[in-house]
Amino acid sequence: MHISEVRELNNNELWRELQEQERSLMNLRFQKTTRQLTNTNALRDTRRNIARIHTVIRERQIVEQLGLGDEGSS
Dump pLDDT digits (tens) for 28-71: 999 999 999 999 999 999 999 999 999 999 999 999 999 876 66
DSSP 8-state secondary structure symbol assigned to residue 70: G
pLDDT given for residue 73 in this prediction: 47
CA 35 to chain centre: 26
For residue 4, give the 3-state DSSP assignment: helix
Query: Is the dihedral angle over the CA atoms 16, 4, 66, 72 positive or is it negative?
Result: negative
Task: Quote the Cα angle for 9-12-14, to 5°.
Answer: 50
Query: Is the CATH number 1.10.287.310 carried by domain 3-72?
Result: yes
Straight-line distance from the first to the last Cα atom of the chain, in angstroms, rounded to the nearest whole number: 34
